[in-house]
């Protein structure tokens, strides 16, 4: 009886003459989904004895009109995932935090990561990314230290969404743009100050500079790339301004890669007899052993949706009841 009813409904709403069309449509959707997910790889890289630097995130405080110093970036859900994946592969990690390294929230998280990944090479260093003097002090300390090896830098501080629609929370657009410029300046300063260490690294060392950007870069793809200031800030949407920030960061990384490829690089040493070597760079597209990569993890509930709706109630005085209601409804 049940099968008869199902068959009758199927014949009514899905006539047999439309079966090829339905099959082609489903196949098209599957192919499109596989295409938009990008390339996949099952290669598990061994990162033992490799040193990675992970930056923190900047959050704008709506009440004090300054940058709120909280343990973000390396300690957000995305940041913890990055640290966990790097630690599981045996990497030596230095996570920058704006909180003192002896604060409870930092020590507890570092201890948990060390325990869960069986990797004791996880450390936190204090560095205020909103303060150029603090960035310079950290880089100077690193450059003058005994251990100067650096195999990768992960800039995760520009991923978090900055700004919210005006009907949720009224705020001057210049304040949001100041936070965006501060994050971009931190990326530029760290890259510039640490570049001497990367350039003197052996040619056989595979070095990565990974830039994590927000997913709204496509919103600014069709705009002329020029500074947006003054009255234009108030007239543009939050998504457009975030897209400009993301696209600006992507263009900077692309420009940096071209500069690195233009520098003279010593050829990597030949592999010993009986040992196959993996080339660190493709001479056709990339000449330097330092590769810059811009990645977008996509839309994140806590770092994209919550700041957009002003639903982050941890920011005292900066949340919106309407935004929290919409955020809770979105999660359900």
Q: Tens of pLDDT along 315-330?
A: 544 667 777 777 776 5
Number of domains, the chain: 1
Residue 102 inside a domain? The answer is yes
- Count of CB atoms situated within 10 Å of the CB of 181: 12
Across 39-149, the runs of DSSP E, i.e. the strands, are 51-54, 59-61, 66-68, 92-97, 122-126
Note down the domain range covering 228: 46-263+285-331
Residue 41 inside a domain? The answer is no
Residue 177 inside a domain? The answer is yes
Given a cut of 60, whether residue 41 has pLDDT beyond it is yes
Q: What CATH code is carried by the domain that includes residue 91?
A: 3.40.50.720
The mean per-residue pLDDT over the stretch 190-211 comes to: 91
pLDDT band of residue 255 (cuts 50, 70, 90) is very high
Q: Quote the CA–CA distance of 13 and 32 in Å, as a whole number.
A: 25
pLDDT band of residue 60 (cuts 50, 70, 90) is very low
Residue 142 inside a domain? The answer is yes
pLDDT band of residue 15 (cuts 50, 70, 90) is low
- Count of CB atoms situated within 10 Å of the CB of 283: 9
Strand bridging mode 66-68 / 59-61: antiparallel
Q: Tens of pLDDT along 127-163?
A: 888 889 999 999 999 999 888 899 999 999 888 888 7
pLDDT band of residue 105 (cuts 50, 70, 90) is confident
Residue 140 inside a domain? The answer is yes
Q: Of 277, 266, 229, 223, whose CA–CA distance to 246 is shortest?
A: 223
Side-chain half-sphere exposure of 313, counting CA atoms within 13 A:
7
Residue 143 inside a domain? The answer is yes
């Amino acid at each position: 009886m049940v099968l008869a009813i199902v068959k009758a409904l199927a014949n009514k709403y899905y006539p047999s003459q439309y079966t090829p069309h339905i099959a082609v449509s489903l196949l098209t959707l599957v192919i499109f989904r596989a295409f938009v997910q990008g390339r996949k790889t099952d290669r598990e890289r061994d990162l033992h004895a490799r040193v990675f630097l992970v930056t923190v995130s900047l959050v704008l405080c709506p009440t004090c009109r300054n940058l709120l110093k909280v343990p973000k970036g390396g300690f957000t859900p995305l940041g913890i995932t990055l640290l966990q994946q790097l630690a599981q592969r045996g990497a030596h990690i230095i996570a920058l935090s704006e909180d003192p390294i002896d604060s409870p929230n930092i020590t507890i998280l570092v201890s948990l990561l060390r325990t869960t990944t069986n990797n004791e090479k996880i450390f936190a260093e204090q560095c205020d990314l909103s303060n150029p003097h603090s960035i310079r002090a950290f880089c100077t300390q690193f450059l003058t230290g005994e251990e100067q090896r650096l195999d990768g830098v992960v800039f995760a501080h520009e991923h978090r969404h900055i700004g919210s629609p005006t009907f949720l929370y009224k705020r001057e657009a210049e304040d949001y743009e100041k936070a965006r410029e501060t994050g971009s300046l931190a990326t530029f300063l760290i890259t510039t100050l640490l570049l001497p260490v990367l350039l003197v690294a052996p040619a056989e060392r595979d070095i990565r500079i990974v830039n994590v950007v927000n997913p709204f870069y496509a919103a600014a793809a069709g705009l002329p790339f020029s500074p947006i200031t003054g009255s234009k800030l108030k007239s543009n949407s939050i998504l457009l301004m975030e897209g400009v920030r993301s696209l600006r960061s992507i263009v900077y990384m692309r420009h940096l890669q071209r500069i690195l490829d233009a520098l003279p690089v010593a050829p990597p040493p030949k592999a010993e007899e009986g040992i196959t070597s993996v080339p660190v760079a493709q001479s056709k597209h990339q000449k330097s052993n330092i590769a810059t990569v811009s990645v977008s993890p996509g839309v994140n509930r806590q770092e994209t949706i919550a700041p957009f709706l002003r639903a982050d109630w941890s920011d005292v005085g900066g949340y919106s009841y309407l935004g929290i209601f919409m955020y809770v409804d979105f999660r359900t």
